[in-house]
Amino acid sequence: MARTTTSWLALLLLVGAATALTRVRRQDDGGEGDDQSIDELCDQRPPDEYFRLSTDGDCRDVVRCDQAGENGITRLASVRCPNGLAFDIERQTCDWRTNVKNCDRVEKPRKVLPILKTDEPVCPEGKLSCGNGECIEKELFCNDKPDCKDESDENACTVETDPNRAPDCDPTQCVLPDCFCSADGTRIPGSIEPNQVPQMITLTFNGAVNVDNIDLYEDVFNGQRNNPNGCQIRGTFFVSHKYTNYSAVQDLHRRGHEIGVFSLTHKDEPNYWTQGSYDDWLAEMAGARLIIERFANITDGSIIGMRAPYLRVGGNKQFEMMADQFFVYDASITAPLGRVPIWPYTLYFRMPHKCNGNAHNCPSRSHPVWEMVMNELDRRDDPTFDESLPGCHMVDSCSNIQTGDQFARLLRHNFNRHFNSNRAPLGLHFHASWLKSKKEFKDELIKFIQEMLERNDVYFVTMLQVIQWMQNPTELTGLRDFQEWKEKCDVKGQPYCSLPNACPLTTRELPGETLRLFTCMECPNNYPWILDPTGDGFSVKK
């Protein structure tokens, strides 16, 4: 829901921006004493930054410095948010008036940048220059703690600018099974010929597992659909805690699906994730794993992957936590739609594509973690004819997909894009509620799966199975005997319990709410939450 609103707002903003140049307001028509000149206003200001000319009015109007005018003259291009909305200076987007807290500010605070690129070194070896010319140790840059007097050491820390960033991919150093990278991210592991690579498809689902979606999962994974090696098709479930039925999660795991974490609170505040501290990520993700392991009785250490809520990647802190806690992969970074899709990669070396979306907080440092990158889907209805459109990462964020026919074309067109190029795994990422919103969506997905399974070169696998294949790249001809994919091949038997406990629980952390925790295990004392993930109570907390 929140995501739909955001993209809708972004769209409105774009529409506004497109018409802006017809409404350019000139401010430089000579000496109106108080007015700043455009040159002053635009000095050192990035061309994509919107700011207000005044704080009077209804907070809908902003401008930016447009340098594309004739004769290199800079002019101000203006944008007005639609009625009822206001422009948020911090987030640089239109939002509901009540959500915008900075109508009293004209611009984003300007940040002083360090002086990293100079013709001659300005500092002794091992040191770099702050914005004010002070020299400090290189290691102190981008360590989340201001060390320069002007604090500029923390202001240039992207994947491109962090002085301590991971090095570019070096294929002689980065070798399987633990490391995989390629210069542009499109290379096939093991240098296998594309026509000998299985087309892997990963179906993933985000959110709570409960009565709203268990039936959907039963329909898609009905136990009758087998990959060419005779094993049942598999999916990956990134589970958030609240409202999850852990006995259903236990059963998904028993049937060979992969369980990953999608956080404990799933807090509806994107910046909480982008700016989260190491401890926030630890409590959210390791806490969520603890809850699942306990209440879904998953004891085999198989919860190794995570996805960030709203795909808001938490930069280096998220990945440092992951390495410390033995999370093997993240599945939250998106790669922009390109001609050839990207294979998953490890983050020992620099990521091979632009940091796309996700509030641009991609990890810049080296981390021993796999990135199961989400390649954006091409959403065009008629790819041979339509103009190019930005891609979409979750299938439900392809907002132009309204009918079953459109969805069916989206699936096949994107399958062909992957299959006919480098056969990078095709990720189809869903919220169950979208698939259930129209019966035809579910029907089309099942039709697509069945059509694919009639071939002998397509496998529906989990994220872990993708990593297993990449660590041991095996040609299609030998794949039927690939041992890593034979585990829990044919699942029989019954769920662990026929009647789960329906524990009615409260927690001091969520005053006034009584929540039901469904589990085959014993009921805890309290509803598990972020300060008390076991539900044992605060008193026993260290």
Ligand X SMILES: *[C@@H]1O[C@H](CO)[C@@H](O)[C@H](O)[C@H]1NC(C)=O
| Rounded least distance, CB 524 to ligand X, Å | 14
Binder among 175, 211, 489, 531 for ligand X (CB under 6 A): 211
| Rounded least distance, CB 290 to ligand X, Å | 15
- What is the C-alpha to C-alpha distance for residues 362 and 312, in angstroms, rounded to an integer? 9
Question: SS3 for 43-72, per residue?
Answer: CCCCCCCCECCCCCCCCCEEEEEECCCHHH
| Rounded least distance, CB 498 to ligand X, Å | 7
Binder among 134, 251, 280, 376 for ligand X (CB under 6 A): 251
Toward ligand X, which CB reaches closer, 295 or 348?
295
Considering only the stretches 8-16, 206-214, 256-264, 347-355, report the one whose residues sit in contact with ligand X under the rule CB under 6 A: 206-214
Query: Number of helices (H) and strands (E), helices first, in the chain?
Result: 12, 19
DSSP state of 286: I
Query: Going residue by residue from 481 to 520, which x/- string records binding to ligand X, judged by CB under 6 A?
Result: --------------xx---x-----------------x-x
Three-class secondary structure of residue 377 per DSSP:
strand
Toward ligand X, which CB reaches closer, 315 or 500?
500
Toward ligand X, which CB reaches closer, 299 or 384?
299
- What is the C-alpha to C-alpha distance for residues 183 and 81, in angstroms, rounded to an integer? 41
Single out the residue of 252, 243, 229 nearest to residue 456, CA to CA. Answer: 229
Toward ligand X, which CB reaches closer, 247 or 364?
247
Toward ligand X, which CB reaches closer, 263 or 297?
297
Tokens of 509: 């952390």
Binder among 166, 203, 248, 372 for ligand X (CB under 6 A): 248
Considering only the stretches 105-113, 195-203, 243-251, 390-398, report the one whose residues sit in contact with ligand X under the rule CB under 6 A: 243-251
User: Cα 176 vs. chain centroid, distance in angstroms?
Assistant: 25
# residues contacting ligand X (CB under 6 A): 15
Toward ligand X, which CB reaches closer, 214 or 476?
214
Query: Going residue by residue from 517 to 536, which x/- string records binding to ligand X, judged by CB under 6 A?
Result: -x-xx---------------
Query: Going residue by residue from 296 to 315, which x/- string records binding to ligand X, judged by CB under 6 A?
Result: -x-x----------------
| Rounded least distance, CB 218 to ligand X, Å | 9
Per CB under 6 A, which of residues 63..102 are in contact with ligand X? none
Binder among 129, 245, 358, 366 for ligand X (CB under 6 A): 245
Which residues does 294 contact at the CB level (< 8 Å), separation at least 6? 521, 534
Toward ligand X, which CB reaches closer, 129 or 297?
297
| Rounded least distance, CB 188 to ligand X, Å | 37
| Rounded least distance, CB 238 to ligand X, Å | 18
Checking phi first, is residue 353 left (phi over 0); if not, alpha (psi -120 to 50) or beta?
A: beta
User: Cα 501 vs. chain centroid, distance in angstroms?
Assistant: 34
* Contact status, residue 461 vs residue 200, Cβ threshold 8 Å: yes
Which residues does 214 contact at the CB level (< 8 Å), separation at least 6? 245, 248
CB atoms within 10 A of CB 483: 9
| Rounded least distance, CB 242 to ligand X, Å | 14
Q: How far apart are the first and last CA of the chain?
A: 38
Tokens of 184: 């542009």
- What is the C-alpha to C-alpha distance for residues 2 and 20, in angstroms, rounded to an integer? 27
Phi, psi of 316 (to 5 degrees): -60, -30
Toward ligand X, which CB reaches closer, 295 or 370?
295
* Contact status, residue 524 vs residue 535, Cβ threshold 8 Å: yes
| Rounded least distance, CB 283 to ligand X, Å | 25
Toward ligand X, which CB reaches closer, 245 or 263?
245
Single out the residue of 150, 125, 128 nearest to residue 140, CA to CA. Answer: 128
* Contact status, residue 139 vs residue 145, Cβ threshold 8 Å: no
Considering only the stretches 43-51, 139-147, 224-232, 245-253, report the one whose residues sit in contact with ligand X under the rule CB under 6 A: 245-253
Binding site for ligand X (CB under 6 A): 210-211, 214, 245, 247-248, 251, 297, 299, 495-496, 500, 518, 520-521
